[in-house]
Structure 1
Amino acid sequence: MALFLTESDVAQLLTMPLALEAVEAAHRALAVGQALDVPRQRTRLPQTTLHVLQGALPEFGVIGYKAYTSNRSGVRFLVHLYDASTGSLRAVIEADRLGMMRTAAASGVATRCLARPEARVLGMFGAGWQAEGHLEAIAAVRALDRVKVYSRNAERLQNFCRRMSERLGLEVRAAASPEDVVRGSDLVSTVTTAASPLFGGDWLAPGTHINAAGSNSLIRRELGEDVLKRCSAIVVDSVETALREAGDLLPWLEKGRLHVGQLRDLGQVLAGRQPARTTVDEITLFESQGLAVQDLALAARLESLARTRGLGSELPYGA
């Protein structure tokens, strides 16, 4: 029978090491033609938008989709996981935490691949739910000494810094300004819903790695052209998806100031088919939009763990 996993079930099963492993495996499979990914599709009404990401990982025996609705009242996420050989439903999984962790893990995988090994200081924009996972993922792949965080909401920022300091055993402090976030940082991450660039390109030190995780539509923009001009390597989770959704990149692609050939696919970089960092002074960028195969790879692992540990409830349909 198919399983239904609640957010509580997912919280008991999901760890950042598991998310990092699943996301990297998904990108490697995509790079060698062992996966299919369909960019996000949206159906919009005045009050509600339906978002659907679908794909398949034959190597893991799964095909499926994530669907979520966004409305002023909230966002609701579900992953539907099917058996690739029989078509039967394997699991329906509540996917708020799952999505947050896979988004964070993508930046973690990119950081492990692109950032200098000695990177120790992280500057981060954003102090929300997504930022929590993002910080945990970066801390899992680099031995951070210090984290600087900036958010316009002072109360949320202070709570975030206190909570994450205790959770990770790191010095996580509130930054005084956007410039304070970037100056002196080896790693810079943006996890916001900003509509205009967050920082100046001239604040970046040589050798910095940037993770931009918030701009997945034309109305969102975290990085300006001055930042892009300083990046020697621009890596995306999928070129096809970036060409539809990357609000940081699309205006400059349309104006011819950035070219598709300059974009590198994360899976191809992991597989050694495209270069990662080539010098210590290069500024590298990972631009993240999110892929169905990331969700499916993680969902498949959670379903297997749930069955082993006796978690979840059986659904009366889908056989």
Structure 2
Amino acid sequence: MALYLTEDEIRQVLTLQDALVAVEDAHRWHATGEAIDTPRARSRTPTSALHILHGAVLPIGVMGYKSYTTSREGARFWVHLFDVANGRPLAVLEADYLGMMRTGATGGLAARVLSREDARAAVVFGAGWQARSQIEALCAVRNIERIEVVARKRDKLEAFCAEQSQRLGRDIVPADDIESAVRSADVVVTITTATDPLFDGRWLGEGTHVTAAGSNALIRREIDEATIRRAAVIAVDARATALRESGDLLPALEKGRLNEYGMTELGELLVGMRPGRRGAADITLFESQGMAIQDLVLAARVVDKARTAGLGRDLPY
């Protein structure tokens, strides 16, 4: 029988380590051709929108899709899993927390692959739901000692920093001066809904790694063209997805300042197909739009753990 898992049940079994392992597996299998990923499609109405990403992961025998709706009421997320061998349904998962964890883990994986091993200071733009896992994953892969956070609402920002400092045992504080924070950072993370660049790429110091995780639509931009020009490595989840919806990269692509194969897929870095950071002075950039296979691999892992724990309920099909 197919299993249904709620947000609460998923929280009981899903860990950051699960997410880190799952997204690495997904990207490795994508690079070797063992995972198929189809970029996001959207259906829009005057009051809401439906977004769907789908794919298949042959090594674990699953295919499926992530769907979510957005409206003024908010967003709602699900992942549906099917058996590759016969198409039978395996599971349906409520996927808000799952998606948040896989997005953060992907940023953490990119930082592990591309940032300097001695990175100690970071700046994070954004203090929302998604910023939580970005910070946690970054701290899991690098010995980050201090994180400065930038957000528009001061009271929300201070509460967020206090909560994350207590939760992770790190020095996480509001950024008083954005330029100073960026200039002193070894890692810069953006996870916002911004429509204009959040900082001047000329502020980046040598050796800085940037993860830009919020721009998954043409109207969104978090980084400027100076950041792109200065980057020795520009990595993406998947070129096909970046070409469709990276609001950060598309202006440079349209002007001929970047081409398709100037973008390296994260999986290609993991399996050694293409080079990453060559030296301590390199500035590196990871543009994350998200892939169905990240959700599918993590969802399959969660389903296995939930069955072992006796969680979930059978669906009548």
Shorter-chain-normalised TM-score: which range? over 0.9
Q: Which residue of 2 aligns with 1:71?
A: 71
- 1 CA distance for matches of 2:132 and 2:70? 21
Alignment-derived partner of residue 272 in structure 2 = 272
CA distance in 1, matches of 2:192, 2:161: 16
Q: What runs of 5+ residues in structure 1 fail to find an aligned partner?
A: none
- 1:95 equivalenced with 2:92 (yes/no): no
Q: Which residue of 1 aligns with 2:132?
A: 132
Which residue is equivalent to 2:202?
202
Deviation string 1:273-298 (CA, Å, 9 cap, x unpaired) is 01110011000000000000000000
Aligned mates of 1:284, 1:84 — CA distance in 2: 37
* Greater Cα offset, 159-168 or 177-186: 177-186
Partners of 2:2 and 2:156 in 1: how far apart? 39
Match of 2:16 in 1: 16
Q: Structure 1 residue 87: deviation in Å? A: 1.1
Name the SS of the counterpart of 1:183 in structure 2: helix
TM-score (norm 1): 0.98
Amino acid aligned to 1:88: R
Residue by residue over 1:175-203, the C-alpha shift from the partner in whole angstroms, topping out at 9 and shown as x without a partner, is 01321330211000001000000001121
Quote the sequence identity (%): 53
Q: Are 1:53 and 2:39 counterparts? A: no
Q: Which residue of 2 aligns with 1:254?
A: 254
- The TM-score with structure 2 as length reference comes to 0.99
TM-superposition CA deviations, 1:48-98 (whole Å, max 9, x none): 100000000010110000011000001010000011112111110000001
- Using the alignment, how far apart are the partners of 2:292 and 2:260 within structure 1? 22
The one-letter code of the counterpart of 2:37 is D
Q: Tell me the alpha carbon deviations over residues 246-297 of structure 1, each in whole angstroms, 9 at most, x when there is no partner.
A: 0000011011121112100100110000111001100000000000000000
Equivalent runs, 1:141-156 vs 2, <5 Å = 141-156=141-156
Structure 1 residue 155 displacement after superposition: 1.2
Does 2:84 correspond to 1:84? yes
Map of 2:225 onto structure 1 = 225
Tell me how far apart the structure 2 counterparts of residues 117 and 90 of structure 1 sit (CA, whole Å).
40
SS of the residue corresponding to residue 173 of structure 1 reads: strand
Give the whole-Å Cα distance in 1 for the aligned partners of 2:156 and 2:180: 18
Q: Is the 8 A contact 1:245 1:289 kept in 2?
A: yes
Aligned residue pair count = 317
| Alpha carbons 1:100, 1:130 under 8 Å: kept | yes
Taking the aligned partners of 1:205 and 1:8, their CA distance within structure 2 comes to 42
Name the structure 2 match of 1:244: 244
What is the alpha-carbon distance in structure 2 between the residues aligned to residue 225 and residue 125 of structure 1? 18
Q: What do the CA deviations read for 1:109-144 (whole angstroms, capped 9, x no partner)?
A: 111000100001111100000000100010010011
Which residue pairs with 1:158 in the alignment?
158
Q: Does residue 175 of structure 1 match 2:158?
A: no
| Partner-residue secondary structure (3-state), 2:184 | coil
In the alignment, structure 1 residue 121 sits paired with structure 2 residue 121 = yes
Aligned counterparts of 1:44 and 1:7: Cα–Cα separation in 2: 26
CA deviation string 1:133-186 (max 9, x = no partner): 100010010011111001011111001100000000000000013213302110
Q: Which amino acid aligns with 2:275?
A: P
What letter is aligned with 2:87? G
Q: Which amino acid aligns with 1:83?
A: D
Structure 2 unaligned blocks of 5 or more: none
SS in 2 for 1:59: helix
> What RMSD, in angstroms, separates the aligned Cα atoms of the two structures?
0.7
Which of 173-182 and 62-71 deviates more?
173-182
